Structure 1
Amino acid sequence: MTITHKNASVWYTVSGKGSAIVLLHGFLEDSSMWNDLVALLSKKNKVICIDLLGHGKTESLGYVHTMDDMANAVYAVLKHLKLRKYTFIGHSMGGYVALAFAKLHTKNIKGLCLLNSTYQADDEDRKLLRTRANKMIQSNFNNMVRMSFANLFSASSKEKHKQAFHAALQIALKTSLQGYMAGQEGMKLREDSSVFFANAPFKTCIVLGKKDTVIDIESTINFAKKHAIETFVFSEGHMSHIENKEQYLQQIMFFIEKIHHFVDTLE
């Protein structure tokens, strides 16, 4: 299904009935990454998957998609569906968008899980890498996407999950040049959300991969301990939904059940 937001078509799916859970994919992904999770969650919940700006079947707005731009597109979908309370699960860039959304609409959030994602802003080295990537991608799209995508997996899981890796890579290669560049620029501009996430008035959790080269695992674990944020650390890399699929499904379901229980005790 689609809605029009600022003259761009935004794609979303709705599955099941019950409490609303919003799933936001990462950079170079689309909402199909959630298929296994949707099958489980939709038995007792209303699950909304949204293709973020410049990804999947959703069009781009320009050559910079800030996390607020993406959050506003997500809000347009949820408003169209007449939903007022929801839990977010965000993978990588989807986690950044979920945090931006939560800052704008804090009272609407029941829970937020950062899946292989972070509350931290880019450091200067990461910003420089994104700038370089946006220059290089214009002349060598396929090789750049293949290289950057391969780095998201641990070496062993790339072989172990070869079929799923190649399926995900094909989706990444379908991303438009504009979508790639706008996403990189937007992630580069995002603000640090450490204080907000630490003091969030809703349920929070973080899911990490021990071999993830994108996230600072040690500082994230220390941060989570300091602020009593529930954290799960899996054995592999940045793509837990593929590399540690069973554990990922189990822990997300556990997180959702805890939110339902928490909300029930308040009512």
Structure 2
Amino acid sequence: MENKTYSDTGSGPTLVFLHGFCESKQVWEAFTKPLQQQFRIIALDLPGHGANTGNSSNYSMEFMADDVKRQLDEMQVHQCVLVGHSMGGYVTMAFAEKYGSLLKGFCLFHSSALPDTEEKKENRNKTIAYVEQHGVDNFINPFIEPLFFKGNRARLKAEIELMKTIGKQTPQAAVTGALAAMRDRPDRTQVLQEVKCPVLFIFGKDDGAVPLEKALEQCHLPYNSLVHFLGDTGHMGMFERKTETQQTLQQFAETVFA
């Protein structure tokens, strides 16, 4: 079943995939195909991204989590594993705080429960100013490639181009709104400490967006956590280490739904 703001394929226990900043549900298309044999796979467009470009002027992680809940209610999903890439992981943390009883488990995929550092906040402000002055296309072109580990870029040219295409379709208001919302999101490490369900962390050892020391600062916090570190990988493990991350997610989901 296809809908503008979500894809819904496969059958079995439900895995819900949330994309990152300037992405859309499309980034999960090829990645989730093998998982459809065993699970119901839902990929959502977050507010302002992909086809979910209604009149949203609110891009806070809490609002996005409410929007995820609304879409899941429409699809009558009452239990799931939530997989959040990057900004989608920030939304996952907000969702876990508000609607934790719906989660059998969740995965922070190149993401974090920590807030932005002061330096990162300053960088967000500079990026907002740049996008307002120069537009989305000029921002996306140099933004995407560094998300991939340099040793993987030649091999993944097509994926990098796909990411640029998706990114350029994101409205300017959503780009600047999401940047401000990421900048202002709270520290949710307390949620990790209190969460009842298992948590899977997937980190790239060469991820500039979620550095290794930040990864190590939080992965021990949940009562029950599994951590997978990817060598020679930046911020885009679903492309850079596709089979490995598919298998890791599959094993995690099998365990929590057993």
* Range into which the TM-score falls when normalised by the shorter chain: over 0.9
Q: Deviations over 1:239-258 (max 9, x none)?
A: 11111112111111111111
Q: 2:151 aligns with which of 151, 156, 167?
A: 156
Q: Name the residue aligned to 1:231.
A: 227
1:133 aligns with 2:127: yes
Structure 2: give runs of 5+ residues left out of the alignment. Answer: none
In 2, Cα distance between the equivalents of 1:21 and 1:154?
A: 27
- Whether the 8 Å contact between 2:205 and 2:230 is mirrored in structure 1 is yes
* Structure 1 residues 28 and 251: CA distance shift in structure 2, 3 A: same
1:179 aligns with 2:174: yes
- Whether the 8 Å contact between 1:28 and 1:55 is mirrored in structure 2 is yes
Q: 2:89 aligns with which of 76, 95, 98?
A: 95
In 1, Cα distance between the equivalents of 2:43 and 2:13?
A: 14
* Structure 1 residues 64 and 181: CA distance shift in structure 2, 3 A: farther
Residue 124 (structure 1) shift: 1.1
Q: Name the residue aligned to 2:240.
A: 243
In 2, Cα distance between the equivalents of 1:19 and 1:194?
A: 27
Residue identity in the other structure for 2:127: A
In 2, Cα distance between the equivalents of 1:226 and 1:201?
A: 12
Fraction of identical pairs, as percent: 25
Q: Name the residue aligned to 1:40.
A: 34
Residue 62 (structure 1) shift: 4.2
Residue 201 (structure 1) shift: 0.1
SS at 1:21 equivalent: strand
In 1, Cα distance between the equivalents of 2:191 and 2:64?
A: 19
Greater alpha carbon shift after TM alignment, 228-237 vs 213-222: 213-222
Q: Deviations over 1:134-166 (max 9, x none)?
A: 111022222211222222112221122111111
Q: Name the residue aligned to 1:82.
A: 76
SS at 1:213 equivalent: coil
Q: Deviations over 1:15-41 (max 9, x none)?
A: 122212110000011101111332122
* Structure 1 residues 86 and 68: CA distance shift in structure 2, 3 A: same
Greater alpha carbon shift after TM alignment, 87-96 vs 180-189: 180-189
- Whether the 8 Å contact between 1:71 and 1:98 is mirrored in structure 2 is yes
Q: Deviations over 1:86-120 (max 9, x none)?
A: 11000000011111111111111110100000111
Q: Deviations over 1:31-61 (max 9, x none)?
A: 0111133212221222111100111111154
- Whether the 8 Å contact between 1:53 and 1:61 is mirrored in structure 2 is no
Name the count of aligned residue pairs: 254
- Whether the 8 Å contact between 2:14 and 2:39 is mirrored in structure 1 is yes
SS at 1:111 equivalent: strand
Please report the TM-score for the alignment, with normalisation by the length of structure 2: 0.93
Residue identity in the other structure for 1:233: F
RMSD: 1.6
Q: Deviations over 1:178-232 (max 9, x none)?
A: 1101111111111111121133100101000011001131242253246562111
SS at 1:42 equivalent: helix
In 2, Cα distance between the equivalents of 1:88 and 1:199?
A: 17
Counterpart mapping for 1:192-203 below 5 A: 192-203=187-198
In 1, Cα distance between the equivalents of 2:142 and 2:58?
A: 22
Residue identity in the other structure for 1:240: G
* Structure 1 residues 226 and 102: CA distance shift in structure 2, 3 A: closer
Moved over 3 A (4+): 60-64, 225-228
In 2, Cα distance between the equivalents of 1:67 and 1:15?
A: 26
Counterpart mapping for 1:39-118 below 5 A: 39-118=33-112
Residue identity in the other structure for 2:228: F
- Whether the 8 Å contact between 2:205 and 2:211 is mirrored in structure 1 is no
In 1, Cα distance between the equivalents of 2:146 and 2:131?
A: 16
In 1, Cα distance between the equivalents of 2:54 and 2:174?
A: 6
